[in-house]
Structure formats: C-alpha cells, structure tokens
Amino acid sequence: MFVAATIGILASMAIVLVRALLGPTVYDRVMAVNIFGTKTVLLIAVLGFLTDRPEFLDLALVYALINFIGTIAVLKFFAFGDLGLTRRVERGPE
C-alpha cells in the first residue's frame, strides 16, 4: 500500500515539475514549487512508513515549515521587488 502511495506521489511530483518548467508567469512557477514542497512533506511521511521508520515525520514537519517560509519570501520578493529592507532604508530615520 505504501509502495503505491509512494509511486503516486512521485508521479504527481513529476507532473508538477512540468508545470514549474512550462509556467508562463513567475506565479505559476512559485505555485508549482509550493505544491512540490507539500508533496515532498507527504513523500517523506509515506517513505517513513514504507521503510518502517516513522520517525522520519520530524523531517516532514521541518520541511513543511521551511516550504511555507520560502514560498512567502519568494512571493514577497517578486510582488514588491524586495524583502522590505531597501524601502525602509530609503524612507530614512525621520
């Protein structure tokens, strides 16, 4: 059963990668990478059960958090052109 789950998740990861490569806008690519990260979390969890070492779920937890932070950071960079630092510097101390 977990072999089937692993193969299914890997197949959908491959399809999402196709969208990340094709994606006409940068938002398609960010979305594809975000979905890829979610699927990676699930893949790590399923692989833990497949190899009878469910402790892998710690890695899945960390990966979920990193994936979220990374998506928000990349989005902020592409939507506003920076991560907020330059504008604060331009505004000056007053």
Which residues sit at the interface with another protein, rule CB under 8 A? 1-2, 4-5, 8-9, 11-12, 15-16, 18-19, 25, 27-28, 30-32, 34-35, 38-39, 41-42, 45-46, 49, 54-55, 57-58, 60-61, 64-65, 67-68, 71-72, 75-76, 78-79
Nearest approach, Cβ of residue 93 and another protein (Å) = 28
Q: Of 27 and 92, which has the nearer Cβ to another protein?
A: 27
Asked if residue 87 lies in contact with residue 39, where contact means CB atoms within 8 angstroms, the answer is: no
User: Using CA atoms, how far apart are residues 45 and 28, in angstroms rounded to an integer?
Assistant: 26
Q: How far is the CB of 92 from another protein (least distance, A)?
A: 25
> Least distance from C-beta 63 to another protein, angstroms?
9
